Amino acid sequence: MTVIEFNGITKNFSLLAVTPPCYTVLRERFVNCMMNSTVKKDIRKLSLDEIKEFLVKGGEQGFRAKQVYEWLWKKSAISFEQMSNLSVALRNFLSENFSINAIQIDQKQESADGTVKSAFRLFDNNIIEGVLIPADDRMTACVSSQVGCSLTCKFCATGYMERKRNLDPAEIYDQVVHIRNQAAGNFNQPLTNIVFMGMGEPLLNYANVLKSIEYITSPDGLNMASKRITVSTAGIAKMIKKLGDDEVKFNLALSLHAANDEKRNQIMPINETNTLEALIEALKYFYMKTGTRLTYEYILFYNFNDSLEDARELYEFSRHVPSKINIIEYNPISEADFINTKENTLVKFRNFLEDKGVVVNVRRSRGKDIDAACGQLAIKK
């Protein structure tokens, strides 16, 4: 007998044997079923046309739909009461039929360097993370795309969590709004950049990630520039090609961390099925379709991928498509033994690449005094 619980409601599954994968599938179906039957639909799952259709059927004028839509995506309303240019009757009508499942800040950590990490609570009580990373010339939001992650990268705290579900577009949008408010509140600065480098693999939640970017960049939404958005992937070759086919306008980063298959397989199991050769082919295709220069992210782990031979392999890899390389300082996690390379090794590594004409940025670790590594705060919860 397997008992599954969601929001205080339990169901018994009298299967003789429920193996862990079966359990996961059963729970996901049960939660979806409960969400559909006991919880009002989130109005943000409706398109403008669908809101209009609903209002007209309810005897309202069609143009009200545009007002509701603006409140949701431009003014980031989290309740119907806020929609002050709608009549009280209409606001009541909406709240009787829909919810707005806005995410909430569950916990916030502020680093001495200004970095703000938030654990966000979702409507079904799952926890995800988002980070504000302030710098002299930019305010960057790092957002999550899934609850947990299925890719089990060995250096990443999120990789040690179960993937529970994809985030919907509004849950991604909400992270940006919260972090934008933190940039304004703490620094009196607008949010300038967004990176999809938080929990989850964005290309395994493809449709919702692209939809969220539509809400973030649309003039009817937050009106931010696509070129200020970077989606970072562990490397799903098929979906990188799809980004090319969809001719996306945002930037793409590949979390590379090793430029030979043997080493990459050790730290990123996804590489076993999406080899470097497959990735090169997909990246060439992406570049051909979009003309957008790639970014390769490379964490220098002590005594693992920090030799000059590693630098040479990275250089060879980078030559296939116009690109730049971000060398990222590592935030160690308790689940793994990796540590950061030494400063003089980093300098030699960077110099080797720069001498070959490669554009290299070194991204220093931020929020060292808080749980800033991806998944670190959520895993505690």
Residues near ligand SF4 (CB under 6 A) are 149, 151-153, 156, 158-159, 199-201, 234, 255, 374
CB of 68 to ligand SF4, least distance (A): 35
Locate 237 and state its tokens. 């070759």
CB of 381 to ligand SF4, least distance (A): 16
Asked if 374 is an active-site residue, the reply is yes
Which residue, 152 or 192, is less far from ligand SF4 as judged by CB?
152
Question: How many Å apart are CA 215 and CA 192, to the nearest integer?
Answer: 16
Catalytic residue among 129, 171, 201, 297: 129
Quickly count: other Cβ atoms within 10 Å of residue 284's Cβ: 16
- Name residue 117's beta-bridge partners: 109, 131
Asked if 149 is an active-site residue, the reply is no
Question: How many Å apart are CA 36 and CA 82, to the nearest integer?
Answer: 25
CB of 154 to ligand SF4, least distance (A): 9
Locate 261 and state its tokens. 């298959």
Which residue, 86 or 119, is less far from ligand SF4 as judged by CB?
119
Question: How many Å apart are CA 163 and CA 147, to the nearest integer?
Answer: 6
What one-character DSSP code corresponds to residue 26? Answer: H
What one-character DSSP code corresponds to residue 125? Answer: S
CB of 326 to ligand SF4, least distance (A): 14
Question: Which residues does 251 contact at the CB level (< 8 Å), separation at least 6?
Answer: 227, 229, 230, 231, 292, 293, 295
Active centre residues (catalytic): 129, 374
